[in-house]
């Protein structure tokens, strides 16, 4: 893309170590960071104009899963928190469906943006996925569609709201529901959340806002869209190591198709 940057650099000083430190402190304290007005209004309008008419090309994956995004355990009862099923009915456009000149690519590839992410997330490097589907995705949720409660497999998520619905489409979460690195499953919390007995927080964000979120320990969902306007959101997915691609079975699950020859790519899971 040519022309003005899609990032509002006057509000978000990506190269400033002070700004990076402030952002990192918020992310560490809250498990979530919302950078208001990160994407310019012109860039949001352009991406919505490019993608909204293509909602009918979105892929809708199989819609039930457990909160851990794993296969079920037949040794456990169907109503055990590990096996409880939730519905995810959003659709998506994969990276290979996003135009080469999209402002989303300008942001995704921007080295200052990547350095900023590393500094805020406390990691050394971020790299694109080595498969052709996973790096940038656009999620669509038309009326009644939702994303069920889950923990992510990846340690961080980077998203940007493109369009909010008339109502619903609310991001709800339970921060620090578990410590995944310590092997915690948090069955009591998971059960209470699924039963609606646990207090949950909501994260408010608007078109153009960038969200950094630690979803491996925070259980989260997006409530069903209400009204005729579909919710549109971008996911920028990175790896902290180069050359990592999703496995063919994960690609089949998330995108309904697999890529070309795997070559010597490293394969990973995601969610």
Ligand X SMILES: O=C(O)CCC(=O)C(=O)O
Q: Which residues contact ligand X (rule: CB under 6 A)?
A: 139, 147, 152, 157, 159, 171, 215, 220, 222, 233, 235
SS3 for 121-182, per residue?
HCCCCCECCCCCCCCEEEEEECECCCEEEECCCCCCEEEEEEECCCEECCEEEECCCCCHHH
d(CA 238, CA 115): 12
For ligand X, give the closer residue by CB, 97 or 159: 159
Beta-carbon count within 10 A of 94 CB: 23
Closest contact distance (angstroms) between CB of 16 and ligand X is 27
In which residue are the tokens 């990175």 written? Answer: 238
For ligand X, give the closer residue by CB, 113 or 171: 171
Closest contact distance (angstroms) between CB of 157 and ligand X is 6
Contact 95, 102 (CB under 8 A): no
For ligand X, give the closer residue by CB, 116 or 171: 171
- The region, left, alpha or beta by phi > 0 then psi within -120 to 50, assigned to residue 208 is left
d(CA 250, CA 258): 9
For ligand X, give the closer residue by CB, 95 or 152: 152
In which residue are the tokens 């038309």 written? Answer: 142
Closest contact distance (angstroms) between CB of 121 and ligand X is 16
For ligand X, give the closer residue by CB, 159 or 217: 159
For ligand X, give the closer residue by CB, 20 or 220: 220
Closest contact distance (angstroms) between CB of 117 and ligand X is 17
Closest contact distance (angstroms) between CB of 147 and ligand X is 6
For ligand X, give the closer residue by CB, 119 or 157: 157
d(CA 33, CA 13): 15
Contact 206, 161 (CB under 8 A): yes
Closest contact distance (angstroms) between CB of 62 and ligand X is 15
Strand order in the sheet with 136-141: 32-35, 210-213, 157-163, 231-236, 136-141, 91-93, 59-60
In sequence order, the 6+-apart residues with CB closer than 8 A to the CB of 247 are: 267, 268, 269
In which residue are the tokens 């402030």 written? Answer: 22
Closest contact distance (angstroms) between CB of 235 and ligand X is 6
């Amino acid at each position: 893309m040519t022309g003005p940057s899609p990032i509002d650099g006057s509000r978000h000083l990506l190269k400033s170590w002070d700004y990076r430190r402030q952002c990192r402190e918020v992310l560490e304290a809250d498990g979530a960071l919302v950078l208001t007005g990160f994407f310019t209004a012109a860039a949001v309008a352009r991406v919505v104009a490019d993608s909204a008419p293509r909602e009918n090309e979105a892929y809708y994956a199989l819609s039930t899963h457990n909160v851990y995004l794993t296969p079920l355990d037949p040794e456990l009862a169907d109503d055990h928190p590990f096996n409880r099923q939730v519905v995810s009915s959003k659709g998506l456009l994969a990276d290979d469906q996003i135009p080469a000149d999209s402002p989303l690519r300008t942001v995704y590839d921007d080295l200052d943006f990547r350095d900023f992410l590393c500094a805020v997330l406390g990691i050394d490097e971020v790299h694109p996925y080595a498969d052709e589907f996973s790096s940038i995705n656009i999620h669509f949720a038309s009326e009644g569609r939702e994303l069920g409660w889950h923990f992510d497999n990846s340690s961080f998520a980077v998203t940007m709201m493109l369009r909010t619905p008339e109502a619903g489409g609310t991001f709800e979460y339970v921060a620090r529901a578990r410590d995944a690195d310590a092997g915690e499953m948090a069955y009591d919390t998971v059960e209470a959340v699924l039963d609606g007995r646990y207090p949950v927080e909501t994260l408010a964000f608007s078109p153009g806002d960038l969200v950094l979120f630690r979803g491996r320990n925070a259980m989260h969902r997006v409530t069903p869209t209400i009204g005729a306007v579909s919710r549109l959101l971008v996911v920028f997915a990175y790896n902290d190591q180069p050359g990592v691609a999703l496995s063919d079975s994960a690609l089949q699950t998330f995108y309904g198709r697999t890529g070309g020859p795997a070559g010597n790519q490293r394969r990973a899971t995601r969610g």
